[in-house]
Amino acid sequence: MQLTRFDRWLREKFVYETHIQTLRPPESVPAGIRTVELPDAPGKRFKHLFVARSSRAADALIHVLRENNQMYQTQIVDRDAWYIPFIAPKERSVTWWVISLIVLSTVAFFFLLYVKGLAQDPEFRKNFMEALELLKG
C-alpha cells in the first residue's frame, strides 16, 4: 500500500537509524552519535561503527568525514525496538489502518445502537418472537 507523508515521517523519526562505518575514527564526533565497538575480524574493511538516530546527526558526522577526506560507508537500518512492528509494519500504511479502524468502529457503534433500539421496541420483539415460533414449527 502507498505510504502517506505521515507514515514516512514516523519511519524517519522513530524507526530508521543510520550506520556509518569508517576506517579510522574522526577527529570529532557530533552530539547524537553513538560509537559501537567492532570486533577485529580478518577481511573486514571498516573498523569503526557510528550509529545516528537522526538524519541531522548523521549529516553532521558525514560533513566531518568529508572535511577530513575520510572514506566511509552509510547504511540505513531499522532500529531494534519492541514498538517498530506497530508503527511501521512491513509494506503497510499505519495511517490507512488507523482510518479503517476508526470508520469500522463508527459503523459498528451505530449498527449496535440501531439493534439496541430494535430490541427495545415491543412491536418488533413481538413480531420477532412470532417469526421464531413459525420457524420452530
pLDDT at site 13: 92
pLDDT at site 86: 87
Per-residue model confidence as pLDDT tens digits over 48-103: 999 999 999 999 999 999 999 999 999 999 999 999 988 888 888 888 889 999 99
> Which triple of cell numbers denotes residue 110?
451505530
Which of 17, 35, 33 minimizes the C-alpha distance to 75? Answer: 17
The Cβ of residue 79 has, within 10 Å, a number of other Cβ atoms equal to 13
Domains in the chain: boundaries: 5-87, 94-136
pLDDT bracket for residue 43 (50, 70, 90)? confident
* In the chain, % of residues over pLDDT 90: 65
Average pLDDT over residues 23-38: 90
Q: How far apart are CA 48 and CA 50, in angstroms?
A: 7
> Which run of H or E residues covers position 34?
strand 33-37
pLDDT at site 82: 93
3-state SS, residue 38: coil
Q: How far apart are CA 47 and CA 40, in angstroms?
A: 7
pLDDT at site 59: 94
Quote the pTM value. Answer: 0.71
pLDDT at site 1: 64
Average pLDDT over residues 111-133: 92
3-state SS, residue 132: helix
Q: Is the pLDDT of residue 3 over 90?
A: no
Residues 58, 61, 67, 71, CA torsion sign: negative
What is the DSSP annotation of 56-122? Answer: HHHHHHHHHHHHTT--EEEEEEE---TTHHHHS-TT--HHHHHHHHHHHHHHHHHHHHHHHHHHH-H
